[in-house]
């Protein structure tokens, strides 16, 4: 018999095997793992969990893959290739590298590098359609670093409020926007006494040619006339002693005394109007020169005449308050003189409530205004002491009654006029110092400059 199967049989012949026969009850062998490559194995891809998303899909690293910065000897991607993904430039996928995309042909759901995807917001920016609550600072604004700025945790400035400016060369913390650190008249807030003094001396250098004749005509001339009237109407005679030892007044003493004070009071009222015109004229000159505007003495005196009557009235009221304060005690009168020292500039620039505004300015920044006004009054006090010294020299040289002889009268009048002339620098310092002090206080209240102040004078 033959071992061959019958012809026409379709039964397969098992291959020869050198090993033992296969166990029919053993489980099937596991599927071979795909070779590591940049492309997945052939076959239908698995379901993509990010298929419904738009824009750039997240990169999910594979466990066991090299971490960023680790060596990659095999040349594989650092994070591996997620299942169902294809490498850039692979023709088998619908994805192309940025350099492979033809112009004007962007694959669906893909955004060019550098362009935000739909529904995506940059870090730190609010989502679309979101409105900031009231009081929130504008976009891109943040609290700067301290010092020179509000401290951390301070409230943001509300719209319309003053924003503190950065401290640095030519700037000071707490400024209002619009303040010029180089303004020749307005001393910026917190600049100190040095810049204030520099602006005072600068105003004198710019305008001494115009200010000197104004001071001579409206301040020195009235002072000289009052000094001569004092010599003429001073009560004469000496005290006598009665038999019982009591002092006896000379004959006609009270009549001479009333005449003396009556003449001085009348001269003070008349010349007070002239002095008020001089203060208004000098303020106009100092302010317009600081603003760079033309200044003529004729126009300055015309302005002074327009403001003289009102300023004179307020001067009388302030003088009355100071005298009343001095009647109770010297200190209240002196305090009133300091607290109301800025009434003149307030009236000329604002023309409203001079006494109240001057009082509030003084108490709002007590130390600052007190220091500035004290310097001005110190100069005036020095001039008063100098005039008293000249008067003492005149009395010692020409006696108590110098007007009884022509020679002594001429000498006494010359010394009286010389004393008034020596006080001219004090009048200039008072004129400039009060205007610069007022401008500095206005800078603490809001943005202001010399041009605006010149416009306010009218």
Beta pairing partners, 248? 240
Q: How confident is the model at residue 55 (pLDDT cuts 50, 70, 90)?
A: very low
CA angle 307, 309, 328 (to 5 degrees): 115
Q: What is the pLDDT of residues 157-206, one digit of tens each?
A: 333 333 333 433 444 444 555 667 889 999 988 888 999 999 999 999 99
Please return the burial class of 148, using the count of CB atoms within 10 Å of its CB with bins 0-12, 13-18 and 19+: middle
Q: In this model, does residue 273 exceed pLDDT 90?
A: yes
Least confident among 132-136, 164-168, 346-350: 164-168
- The total of other beta-carbon atoms located within 10 Å of residue 344's CB is 25
Which tops the pLDDT comparison, 91 or 323?
Answer: 323
Which letter, b or e, does each residue of 198-237 get, where b requires 16 or more Cβ atoms within 10 Å of its Cβ?
Answer: ebbebbbebbeebbbebbbbbbbbbbbbbbbbebebeeee
Statement: residue 279 has pLDDT above 50: yes
Percent of the chain with pLDDT over 90: 41
Distance in Å from the first CA to the final CA of the chain: 143
Query: What pLDDT shows up at residue 441?
Result: 95
User: What was the pLDDT predicted at 454?
Assistant: 95
Task: Please give the residue that has the higher pLDDT: either 291 or 19.
Answer: 291
Q: At what angle do helices 424-445 and 343-350 cross, to 10 degrees?
A: 60
Instruction: Give the pLDDT score at 104.
Output: 52
- State both tokens at 418: 């010389």
pLDDT, residue 191, reads 87
* 426 CA to centre of own chain: 32
Residue 220 pLDDT level (bands cut at 50, 70, 90): very high
Q: What is the reported pLDDT for 340?
A: 95
Interval 6-50: pLDDT, tens: 444 444 444 444 444 455 455 555 544 444 444 444 445 555 555
Write down the pLDDT at residue 118: 52
**Residues β-bridged to residue 171:** 168
| Mean pLDDT, all residues of the chain | 74
């Amino acid at each position: 018999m033959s071992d061959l199967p019958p012809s026409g049989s379709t039964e397969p012949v098992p291959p020869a095997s050198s090993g033992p026969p296969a166990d029919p009850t053993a489980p099937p062998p596991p599927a071979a793992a795909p070779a590591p490559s940049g492309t997945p194995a052939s076959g239908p891809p698995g379901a993509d969990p990010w298929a419904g998303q738009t824009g750039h899909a997240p990169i999910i690293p594979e466990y066991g893959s090299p971490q960023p910065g680790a060596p990659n000897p095999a040349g594989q991607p650092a994070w591996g290739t997620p299942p169902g993904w294809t490498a850039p430039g692979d023709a088998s996928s619908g994805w192309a590298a940025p350099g492979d995309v033809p112009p004007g042909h962007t694959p669906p759901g893909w955004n060019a590098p550098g362009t935000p995807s739909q529904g995506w917001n940059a870090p730190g920016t609010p989502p679309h359609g979101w409105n900031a609550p009231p009081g929130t600072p504008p976009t891109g604004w943040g609290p700067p670093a301290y010092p020179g700025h509000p401290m951390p945790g301070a409230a943001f400035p509300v719209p319309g409020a003053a924003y503190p400016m950065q401290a640095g060369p030519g700037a000071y913390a707490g400024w209002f926007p619009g303040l010029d650190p180089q303004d020749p008249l307005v001393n910026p807030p917190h600049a100190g006494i040095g810049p204030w003094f520099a602006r005072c001396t600068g105003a004198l250098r710019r305008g001494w040619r115009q200010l000197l004749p104004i001071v001579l005509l409206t301040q020195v001339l009235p002072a000289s006339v009052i000094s001569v009237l004092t010599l003429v109407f001073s009560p004469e005679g000496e005290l006598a002693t009665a038999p019982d030892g009591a002092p006896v007044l000379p004959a006609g003493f009270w009549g001479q005394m009333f005449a003396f004070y009556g003449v001085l009071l009348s001269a003070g009222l008349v010349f007070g109007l002239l002095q008020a015109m001089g203060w208004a004229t000098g303020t106009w000159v100092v302010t317009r020169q600081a603003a760079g505007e033309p200044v003529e003495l004729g126009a300055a005196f015309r302005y002074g005449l327009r403001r003289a009557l009102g300023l004179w009235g307020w001067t009388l009221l302030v003088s009355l308050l100071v005298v009343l304060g001095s009647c109770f005690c010297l200190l209240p009168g002196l305090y009133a003189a300091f607290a109301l020292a800025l009434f003149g500039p307030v009236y000329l620039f604002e023309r409203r409530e001079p006494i109240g505004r001057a009082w509030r300015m003084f108490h709002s920044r007590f130390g600052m205004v007190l220091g500035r006004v004290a310097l001005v009054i110190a100069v005036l006090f020095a001039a008063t002491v100098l005039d008293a010294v000249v008067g003492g020299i005149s009395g010692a040289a020409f006696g108590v009654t110098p007007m009884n002889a022509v020679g002594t009268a001429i000498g006494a009048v010359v010394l009286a006029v010389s004393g008034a002339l020596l006080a001219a620098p004090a009048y200039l310092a008072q004129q400039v110092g009060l205007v610069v002090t007022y401008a500095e206080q206005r800078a603490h209240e809001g943005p202001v400059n010399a041009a605006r102040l010149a416009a306010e004078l009218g």
